[in-house]
Copies of this chain bind each other. A is one copy, B any other.
């Protein structure tokens, strides 16, 4: 039941119909006995700046989750970005600070790593290939470095983008490089951070011909739950990590950012809500 006293968490993106956050968060709020709901807000690219300025007036909002295509652009309107948001060049959570300005962080990369850990896949000492050097790929690459991956290799069809991310990763002291092909051979962890796999006719984003059985193959694509890449990896005997776990892995981090102190926000809690 929504009343005048209900607090609001919103997710902004365009398109918005496909996002899971309203269902997951509203379910978690109910499960945790918190009088709050999560609503979708379809904000056009052209309207983002004015929207973020106007939304500073909202006194009963816990904050905003930011999704495609606004993650990089929203950073420009954040007076208090986290160090990680500045490194990645994007934000995916915003909250108002007492000075009336936005604080922003990006937790999807960290959420990806948390999601791996929750399913028993460590990152420390592993050699990782990240395919796709856009917002999601960049956030994941930085989070892998932060979680002490031995080496992070980045591939993008736009090779200059991959080279740029690799250079920024190295600037933090990490071992990182750009690859000339998306070939899974020789990696402990392979991550698809491109949109390939959303449409049934998409080609596989990674060549699995020579993938090792011990390699964990992960996808940042949420729908379908098992992408063609993950299906192919499973056939080859690899452990797979669907994109939903990246989402689930960041919920607890987001809850903390939005200052929901108590409550269960774990993948187990989410599973109960989703069921």
Contact = CB atoms under 8 A, between A and B. Distances in A.
A42 B59 contact: yes
Given A2-B23, A2-B26, A4-B19, A46 B42 contact: no
A172 to B, nearest CB: 35
Interface residues of A, number: 41
A39 interface: yes
Interface in A34-60: 37-44, 46-48, 50-60
A275 interface: no
B58 A41 contact: yes
25 contacts: A2-B22, A2-B37, A2-B40, A3-B40, A4-B11, A4-B20, A4-B21, A4-B22, A4-B23, A5-B17, A8-B40, A8-B41, A37-B39, A39-B39, A41-B58, A41-B61, A43-B57, A43-B58, A46-B57, A47-B58, A48-B57, A50-B54, A50-B57, A51-B55, A54-B55
A224 to B, nearest CB: 16
Contact of A18 (B4, B37, B46): B4
A158 interface: no
Contacts of A59: 14, 16, 42-44
Nearest to A5: B17
Interface of A: 1-6, 8, 11, 14, 16-23, 26, 37-44, 46-48, 50-61
Contacts of A16: 4-5, 59-60
A20 B4 CA distance: 6
A44 B20 contact: no
Contacts of A41: 8, 58, 60-61
A51 B53 CA distance: 7
A44 B22 contact: no
A188 to B, nearest CB: 34
Residue of A1, A17, A47, A56 with most chain B CB atoms under a 10 A cut-off? A47
Contacts of A8: 39-41
Given A4-B20, A4-B23, A40-B60, 14 more contacts: A1-B26, A3-B17, A3-B23, A5-B16, A5-B17, A8-B40, A8-B41, A44-B59, A46-B57, A48-B57, A50-B53, A50-B57, A52-B54, A54-B54
